Amino acid sequence: MGASRSGADGLDVLAAEVRGCAACARLVSWRQAVALPGARGRRPGPYAASGIPGFGDPSARLVVVGLAPAAHGGNRTGRMFTGDRSGDFLVAALNRAGFANGPTSVSADDGLVLRRCWLTAAVRCAPPQNRPLPAERDACAPFLARELTLLTEARVLLALGAYAFDALGRIGALGAAESAGGRARFAHGLELALGPARAGGPARTLLCSYHPSQRNVFTGRLTAAMFDAVLARAAVLCG
């Protein structure tokens, strides 16, 4: 079973809204400032300097949720997890696990195709110091909620880091995992049964991994083997 036409169309509409969003003045100013000639860390070529929508297979069974686009990655290329080291690590792993047709993600027109996988984030604009304010997180929350509703075939939600985990909780995506003992806490390798997102829909499972940030990878907090193990479990759960 694939995504419905209405679901795919809905994702296109959502993408257009994300690109045009100017709700958070601080983020709009920052995403544009880092794209100016002479800005620190600026790379050659044009910058999207906009809100960055999710991308991938509308029939995705795996939905990967990160924190936000990188200033000189997604904010530059216009595609989530593209053109930065986090994207390099993530897409290479997705390729090894069979979720991507190639191991690199360098530009929006590089031919990358995701298979049964969708990449998105809790916040859609690059934030200063990679730290969105609570109000900015909350302004973006409806985008993520709508996205998860439109991805009707999703069976696994993979939270990259505690920020993404908390964002999913705030939009109610972890509702079935709540218990009398309180909300579960983020931990690498955590697995939670979420139940169906809608009546008659597939049951969903939450998996957690440390974010593939430069710091986590360079310090060895997250290794390729660790992330491969998470994706291997995701592949099993996706069926």
Low-confidence ranges of the chain (pLDDT < 70): 1-6, 176-182
What are the distances in angstroms from CA 73 to CA 10, 108, 190? 25, 11, 28
* Amino acid in the structure at residue 234: A
Q: Cα–Cα distance between 10 and 220 in angstroms, integer?
A: 39
pLDDT given at position 112: 98
Q: Cα–Cα distance between 44 and 87 in angstroms, integer?
A: 18
pLDDT tens track for 203-221? 999 999 999 999 999 999 9
pLDDT given at position 210: 98
Domains detected in the chain: 5-238 (3.40.470.10)
1, 57 contact by CB (below 8 A): no
**Reported pTM:** 0.94
Q: What percent of the chain has pLDDT over 90?
A: 87
235 class by beta-carbon count within 10 Å (0-12 exposed, 13-18 middle, 19+ buried): middle
pLDDT given at position 195: 86
* Chain-centre distance for alpha carbon 85: 15
Nearest Cα residue to 99 out of 234, 214, 227: 234
Sheet containing 55-56: which strands, arranged edge to edge?
55-56, 117-121, 62-66, 156-160, 203-209, 191-196
Q: Which pair of tokens denotes residue 203?
A: 């049951």
* Chain-centre distance for alpha carbon 156: 13
Q: Cα–Cα distance between 213 and 82 in angstroms, integer?
A: 13
Question: Which residues lie below 8 Å from residue 167, measured CB to CB, with a gap of 6+?
Answer: 65, 122, 123, 137, 141, 144
Nearest Cα residue to 190 out of 170, 169, 171: 169
Give the pairing type, strands 55-56 and 117-121: antiparallel
pLDDT given at position 178: 53
Q: Which residue has the tokens 């990160």?
A: 66
pLDDT given at position 184: 84
